Amino acid sequence: MEDKKNKKYPLIRMENIHKRFGGVVALRGVNFDLDYSEIVGLVGDNGAGKSTLIKILSGAHPPTEGTIYFEGEKVEINSPKDAKQIGIETVYQDLALAENLDVASNIFLGREFIRGGLGKFLRMIDKKKMWQEAEKVMRSLEIQIGSVKTLVQNLSGGQRQAVAIGKTVYLKPKVIIMDEPTANISVKERNKVLELIQKLKKEGISLIFISHNLHEVFSVVDRVVVLNRGEKVGDEKVENTSIDEVVKLMIGR
């Protein structure tokens, strides 16, 4: 089989994507590509269609029309499970963490390690193994959170974001969609998250970065895609455009 990483095809290609909710048209003929080890910023005002597009890609909503290709092959993404199986993970703005559980338990929530022997029969969770693996994950991300036994409710906003990313990275995805990852955290923690995004790219992961903060977008992405009222109105490498140009596209000038 031909090596898919020969750049003949992008990692993801979404062609002529339409989405209607009854009489409301959320997306009109959107084309979207994501290449290997690329960070793409997806921007637009509220109601532009960003959330709808990523929900289609992550399996939350099927498109009304259009085709999705992954590594050059046509795929059907009808559920989040379908997206995960081909290597697409999403870190949503609400993070979906269980605050009453510790860091390790959140990272392995739903896929806990089970002890061997009688413990396997009784479905006894192997906490020690989970702590060890969680520590490896957080070290690999170069994130300081103290102990992986710490309850998530006791972490800062930036630390919680790191846990959500760690939970995703452990699955070894090919693509991570990040929805407003720097919202509601301090400037110092924002910089840490942006550094982490660049680190993930160096490790070969492709990312879709959604943010209203265009300065942050331009600081980390390779290319920016602009949506306006459900249509793609811009798609340019950051070195070939500017924040002012993107703003004009976002507001329709």
pLDDT tens, 161-212?
889 998 999 889 999 999 998 887 888 888 888 999 999 999 999 999 999 9
Which amino acid, 64?
T
% the chain with pLDDT above 90: 70
Alpha-carbon gap, residue 153 to 160, rounded angstroms: 9
Tokens of residue 194, six digits: 């942006």
Q: What pLDDT, on the 0 to 100 scale, is given for residue 67?
A: 98
Query: Among 88-92, 110-114, 228-232, which is the least confidently predicted range?
Result: 110-114
Place of tokens 């338990």: 105
Asked if the model's pLDDT at residue 93 lies above 50, the reply is: yes
> Token match 């340019």: residue?
236
Lowest-pLDDT range of 1-5, 31-35, 87-91, 166-170: 1-5
Predicted confidence at residue 7, as pLDDT, reads 66
Angle at 107 between CA 105 and CA 110, to 5 degrees: 70
pLDDT in tens, 132-149: 999 999 888 887 788 999
Task: Calculate the average pLDDT of the chain.
Answer: 90
Identify which of 224, 201, 200 has the alpha carbon closest to the alpha carbon of residue 32. Answer: 224
CB 36, CB 9: distance < 8 Å: no
Q: What is the DSSP letter of 114?
A: B
Strands (E), the chain: 12-21, 24-34, 39-43, 65-70, 73-75, 88-91, 175-179, 206-210, 223-228, 231-237
The pair of structure tokens assigned to 186 is 């301090």
pLDDT tens for each residue of 8-30: 899 999 999 999 999 999 999 99
Q: What separation, in Å, do the N-terminal and C-terminal C-alpha atoms of the chain show?
A: 47
Q: Identify the pLDDT of residue 19.
A: 97
Strands 231-237 vs 223-228: parallel, antiparallel or unpaired: antiparallel
Please give the share of the chain, as a percent, with pLDDT higher than 70: 94
Rg (CA), the chain: 19
Task: Name the nearest CA neighbour of 237 among 218, 209, 250.
Answer: 218
Q: Give the distance from CA 111 to its chain's centroid.
A: 20
Cβ(225)–Cβ(43) below 8 Å: yes
* pLDDT of amino acid 42: 98
| pLDDT of amino acid 4 | 47
Q: Between these two residues, 40 and 157, which has the higher pLDDT value?
A: 40
